[in-house]
Structure 1
Amino acid sequence: MSGTATAYLRLWRHRWVPSLLLVGVCARVPLQAYVFAVLLLAAERTGSYPAAGVVTAASGVAYAVGVPVHGRLVDRFGQTWPLTVAACVNAVAFTGLLVTAQVNPTAAALAGWAAVVGLSLPPVAAAARALWSQVIADDAVRRTALAVDAMVLDVALVAGPLLVTVVSVAVGPAWALGGCAAVLLGGTLWFSTLPPSRSWTPARRGGSLAGPLRSPGVVVLLAVSVLTGALLGVLRLGFVEFAGERSGQASGGLALAAFGAGSLLGGLLYGARPWRADAAMRMRVILTGYACGVGLLTLAPTVSVLVALCVPAGLFLAPFVICNFELIGRCAPEGTLTEAFAWGITATFTGSALGNLVAGALAGSPSAVVFGAAAGFAVLAAVVVTVGTAALQPSEKGS
């Protein structure tokens, strides 16, 4: 049996792994899909790409503000009631956004409700990552679990935009957004009722209000996540505009799905083999490759070529995410793991919002400029990791 198969079979034999992965897909597909659905809905209702970028950015910034608060509540009170309350409030917020899109589709009104949606999104991803340390004791198997967790995000990145594209073309982006809201509510409630989630107890934490932010390594990783999030934000709006100028906005989801497929392949290969190099060294190499892969997108003349180039461009996304998970687990102070993962999501969504604004400002520019800007963010991320390598070593973990 190959090393790849052995690593994943060892993981799959753990009792709760299949259920956690399945519910993880159900809860996270809408988290990836809703951003694209909001973007399409705002572009349709306002008729403006810059306005759509502002609406999407409002949701991302609000999520960035809210998710660490949710994460701290989980670290203090457990997973069940914080996730349940957030999911119910979020369903109401989605309803408000959909109604507003029909009766008052101004950029300001849509951005306001999009912000409420982002602020109330339940921290399912952070909770799931924190759960692996309880479900799996073996470090090597847990590393494979983090790889699979990253690939769940890739499945979401592929399936989410594809489903949004299909539903938007068939019946409109409002229906796609409503579907995201319903699946997110159901998936989160399902996750919160699983025995490992209900029984999860956080480690005892110190009294610092800074939480995981008192670790220099966590701060470095957050800066890197902002930059890689900005890369994805630029690409998301850049794909829609590129496709809109050639074959229709919704086909931008095909490029995003191809990018996710490349990431899924990269994560599958990366997570199956042991690595001797330190995670910080691996991250530098991965980010350099990421910059080169995204740089290829500047060569695309048509949507079909863009979709093809998105596969190699996305190869480095999941390996970066896996390295990031590993380093956050290394650097996060005791008792702050969920909040540390939540801050990582905050940084990514903050960067995504920044990227949306950058792409909106570049609307009308040649696509090579837009995709070149995305590659530039990966270069900056590699520089940050290089400068902050010392903070990412095991000895730097906060107490």
Structure 2
Amino acid sequence: MLQPYLALLRKPHVRTALTTNIMGRLPNGMAVLALTLLFRHEGVDFGVVGLLIAVYGVGTAVGGPVLGRIVDFYGQPLVLLTSGAASAAAFAVLALAPDAPLAAALPLTAVAGALTPPLESCLRSVWPTLVSDEQERETAYSLDAALQEVIFVTAPLLVSAVAALFLPMHAVLATALITVVGAAVFASLRPVRRWRPVPRKANWLGPLVEPQVRRVLVCFVFVGAALGALAVGAVAYSEEAASRDVSGLLLSANGLGALIGGLTYGAVRVPLPPARRFRVLLAGLALCYLPLLLMPGVALMTVLAGLSGLFLAPALACTFLLLGRLAPQGTTTEAFSWLISMFMCGSALGTALAGVAADMAGASGVFVVTGAVTVTAALLSLRVSGEPGAAAQNPAAAAEVSHATQDRPEER
């Protein structure tokens, strides 16, 4: 099982690119908790804190595709360095002036979110320059998606440790420091500096001009909704069926399942084209979410929570490969950014729907929501084909559409 990963990590620049990128993405898992602790430490009401965090989330969702488009025009280093410095500056001002009036705090949190360096999308655009073989590239996407789970386990622990040892403001300052340093270090890597965008046709829709890209993105709105609803479901189940809070245990089990699923998927060669794998993986995701409706005892529920995460990282890995094929020439970074944004928007929508369901029917109502949205995603995936329309059909889009100036991968 480890052989594909060992072969991948032996390739030039792969370990450095992956390690620095993952470290640079730690603020993605730090910011919400760090800002929440900061504002609550200053006595800000939960309602206002919720508003500020929502503004941060909206900024991140909106800014991602915009920064992705700029990367597809001007390359990665300029965007990473500029956005990293601006986002870090906004975090630093918030940390040093936590009692600033709401009229100042709102735009600062929006800037901190909207200018989050698009490290995740940039790495996935660089992968074809590091890994020319398509199967190895999917292994890279799988490892990347699996390690994403590590970020969301370690980042909150880092925030909690810094806030406990010092003050919440120092956790926000740490977020700012990692943001700017992480972006700068990744931008300085040779493959990143040598990556060049491919000329693109003028169209304000960018990758959204391709119908198949839009269909993939819609599917992931519902996948994100399942994950957002699961967080509420874990709390609701904990209140109803357990004598103690087990919500963290259930969500950790889900993350562990995603980690195991991603690593396993990257080590296995599935003899199906990406579009068919996409449909199979989303069907598997739905099937693994449905047993949550049983709401058994804590031990078995923990197992089911882990099972529900099993197909998430594989689905993400396959989707990034599929988008690389489907996106029109010169738009892959933006397409990857749209996927991340749609996932986040879906998560917010799922959280809202789950909250209503929990009020109306308790935990069982929430798990009806998680089952319904995953089944919807699986059904919508039946409309996804592996062949781009006329908007994306060109020689460069056959495998991936952004390459470095040298050592370009063979087109597939």
Which residue matches 1:330? 325
Aligned 8 A contact 1:53 1:356 in 2: no
Q: For 1:150-299, what aligned pairs fall within 5 Å after superposition?
A: 150-164=145-159, 176-239=171-234, 252-299=247-294
When the two chains are superposed, the root-mean-square deviation of aligned CA atoms in Å is: 3.2
Which residue is equivalent to 2:372?
A: 376
More helix by share: 1
Query: Aligned pair 1:64/2:61, yes or no?
Result: yes
Partner of 2:92: 95
The answer on whether the counterparts of 2:96 and 2:169 sit within 8 Å (CA) in structure 1 is no
User: 2: CA distance between counterparts of 1:297 and 1:117?
Assistant: 36
Q: 1:175 to 1:316 in 2, by over 3 A?
A: farther
CA distance in 2, matches of 1:136, 1:303: 43
Partner SS state of residue 206, structure 1: coil
Change (3 A) 1:301 1:6: closer
* Cα deviation 1:95-118 (Å, max 9, x = unaligned): 3444675566x7x87665433322
Q: Which amino acid aligns with 1:75?
A: D
In 2, the alpha carbon distance for the partners of 1:100 and 1:229 equals 34
Distance 1:178 1:380, change over 3 A: farther
1:352 aligns with 2:347: yes
Distance 1:207 1:377, change over 3 A: same
> Could you report, residue by residue, the CA deviation over 1:11-36 in whole angstroms, capped at 9, with x for unpaired residues?
11211011011112201232134345
Aligned to 2:70: 73
Asked if 2 retains the 8 angstrom alpha-carbon contact of 1:60 and 1:352, the reply is no
CA contact 1:280–1:327 (8 Å) conserved in 2: yes
Structure 1 residue 294 displacement after superposition: 2.9
Alignment identity in percent? 36
**Range 252-261 or range 23-32, more displaced:** 252-261
Partner residue in 2 for 1:86? 83
Q: Distance in 1 between matches of 2:327 and 2:312?
A: 22
Residue by residue over 1:163-204, the C-alpha shift from the partner in whole angstroms, topping out at 9 and shown as x without a partner, is 445566777766544433332322122111111111111112
Do the aligned partners of residues 71 and 157 (structure 1) sit closer, same or farther apart at CA in structure 2, a change above 3 Å counting? same
Secondary structure of 1:275's counterpart equals coil
**Rg bigger for which structure?**
2
* Residues 229/176 of structure 1: CA separation in 2 closer, same or farther (3 Å cut): farther
Report which stretch shifted further, 344-353 or 312-321.
344-353
- In the alignment, is the contact (CA less than 8 A) between 1:230 and 1:355 conserved in 2? yes
- Measured in 2, the distance between the counterparts of 1:376 and 1:115 equals 32
* Whole-Å separation in 2 of the counterparts to 1:315 and 1:373: 19
- Structure 1 counterpart of 2:352, one-letter code: L
Q: Deviations over 1:218-256 (max 9, x none)?
A: 11111112121222222345546666897998x755443
Q: Look up the equivalent residue of 1:131 and give its one-letter code.
A: V
C-alpha separation in 2, matches of 1:240 and 1:263? 20
* CA deviation vs aligned residue, 1:316-335 (integer Å, no higher than 9, x gap): 11011011111101101111
TM-score (norm 1): 0.85
Q: Contact 2:210–2:327 at 8 Å: present in 1 too?
A: yes
Q: 2:142 aligns with which of 139, 147, 159?
A: 147
Instruction: Tell me if the contact between 2:327 and 2:388 (Cα under 8 Å) persists in the aligned partners.
Output: no
Gaps of 5+ in 1: none
* TM-aligned CA distance change 1:192 to 1:238, over 3 Å: farther
> What is the TM-score with the length of structure 2 in the denominator?
0.82
Give the whole-Å Cα distance in 2 for the aligned partners of 1:146 and 1:188: 20
Distance 1:393 1:150, change over 3 A: same
Greater mean alpha carbon deviation, residues 59-68 or residues 84-93: 59-68
Matched residues in 2 for 1:46 and 1:296: separation? Answer: 40
The separation in 1 between residues aligned to 2:299 and 2:44, in whole angstroms, is 27
Provide the residue aligned with 1:14 in structure 2: 11
Inter-partner Cα distance in structure 1 for 2:231 and 2:170? 20
Matching residue within 95, 114, 119 for 2:109 = 114
Q: Quick check: 1:53–1:360 contact (8 Å CA) kept in 2?
A: no
Q: CA deviation at 1:393?
A: 2.8
Instruction: Determine helix, strand or coil for the equivalent of 2:25.
Output: helix
Report the CA distance between 1:144 and its aligned residue: 1.4
Residues 203-212 or 365-374, more deviating: 365-374
- 3-state SS, counterpart of residue 223 of structure 1: helix
Three-state SS of the structure 2 residue aligned to 1:122 is coil
- Deviations along 1:130-165, one digit per CA (max 9) or x if unpaired, are 001112222222221111121221222332344445
* Aligned partner of residue 328 in structure 2, secondary structure: coil
Instruction: Assess if the C-alpha contact under 8 Å between 1:158 and 1:258 holds in 2.
Output: no
Match of residue 393 from structure 1? 387
- The structural deviation recorded for 1:289 is 2.4
8 A contact 1:205–1:335 mirrored in 2: yes
Q: State the distance in 1 between where 2:229 and 2:167 align.
A: 24
Describe the SS at the equivalent of 2:201.
coil
